[in-house]
């Protein structure tokens, strides 16, 4: 479990893992990242701890586009380190191009995973969501599934990019790529966007309102390249 001060960096690490998982679904040779907390100040992005960042350096990497991981772990297993760094660079490249709907789905998985981190580990957020057990499904143009966030039977918030068979508590439909990108980084206006037709909502609105509140907390505390490159 991350310390409260480590939570933004942990959310970044989990988001990167989620993005790598989604990319690997379409590119089987893509290297899957694996986030792991080493100490209260260090996080690994690979299963063998080859790519290790301290909390501040990982956040700096997202804000500035680059930061060096710790050198010694990087050099112990250079082949694995190379694969991990290459995966990070490919993920970075997604933010520097005009996104298609599959790219937006990758971004959305990152946003959902960061939000799940706060739902599971932020004390105030946990208090807010203590009695909530619903599911939220997100779509683009009504038919393209972006992801689901839900509370599991183990009382843990999780997200998935695979469309489940069960009915959701809430359906959130983004009407264009721009609004979906803003949704991925928690920048949806809960009053203006529905009124302007950027999003359509059906189901348990109070659950979505709480989720949106948490997503905006994440947007303030967790840096995302989307905020720089695509959020308008």
Look at the block and give the residue holding tokens 């789905």: 105
Whether the CB-CB separation of 193 and 179 falls below 8 Å is answered with yes
Strand partners, 69: none
The reported pLDDT for the residue numbered 230 is: 45
Q: Which residues of 96-120 are buried (b: 16+ CB within 10 A; e: fewer)?
A: eeebeeebbbbbbbbbbbbbbbbbb
Quote the pLDDT of residue 191: 87
CA 130 vs. chain centroid, Å, equals 21
Between helix 101-121 and helix 205-221 the angle, nearest 10°, is: 90
Distance CA 150, CA 130 (A): 13
- Quick one: which of 113, 109, 111, 118 has its CA closest to 7? 118
pLDDT in tens, 117-141: 999 999 999 999 999 989 999 999 9
- Are residues 230 and 100 in contact, defined by beta-carbon separation less than 8 angstroms? no
Distance CA 82, CA 46 (A): 11
At 232 the pLDDT is 44
State the pTM of this model: 0.94
Cβ-proximal residues to 64 (8 Å cutoff; 6+ apart), any chain: none
Check: CB of residue 23 under 8 Å from CB of residue 91.
yes
Q: What is the CATH number of domain 101-229?
A: 3.30.1050.10
- The parts of the chain modelled with pLDDT lower than 70 are 228-232
Distance of CA 55 to the CA centre of its chain: 17
**Distances 102 to 19, 83, 201 between C-alpha atoms, Å:** 11, 23, 22
Q: Residue 96: its pLDDT value, please?
A: 87
CA dist list (Å): 32 to 2, 25, 216? 21, 10, 28
Q: Using alpha carbons, select from 232, 218, 216 the residue that is nearest to residue 177.
A: 232
CATH 3.30.1050.10 placement within the chain: 101-229
């Amino acid at each position: 479990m991350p310390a409260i001060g480590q939570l933004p960096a942990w959310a970044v690490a989990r988001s990167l893992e989620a993005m790598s998982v989604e990319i690997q679904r379409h590119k089987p040779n893509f290297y899957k990242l694996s986030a792991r907390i080493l100490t209260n100040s260090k996080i690994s992005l690979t299963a063998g701890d080859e790519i290790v960042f301290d909390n501040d350096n990982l956040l700096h990497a997202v804000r500035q586009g680059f930061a060096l991981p710790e050198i010694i772990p990087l050099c112990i297993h250079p082949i694995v380190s190379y694969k991990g760094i290459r995966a990070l660079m490919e993920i970075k490249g997604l933010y520097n191009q005009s996104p298609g709907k599959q790219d937006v789905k990758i971004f959305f998985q990152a946003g959902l995973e960061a939000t799940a981190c706060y739902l599971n580990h932020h004390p105030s957020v946990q208090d807010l969501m203590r009695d909530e057990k619903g599911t939220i499904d997100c779509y683009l143009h009504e038919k393209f599934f972006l992801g689901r966030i839900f509370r599991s039977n183990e009382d843990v918030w999780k997200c998935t990019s695979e469309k489940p068979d069960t009915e959701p508590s809430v359906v959130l439909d983004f009407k264009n790529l721009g609004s979906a990108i803003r949704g991925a980084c928690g920048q949806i206006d809960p009053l203006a966007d529905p009124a302007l037709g950027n999003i359509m909502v059906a189901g348990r609105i109070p659950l979505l309102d709480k989720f949106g509140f948490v997503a905006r907390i994440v947007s303030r505390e967790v840096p995302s390249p989307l905020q720089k490159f695509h959020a308008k």
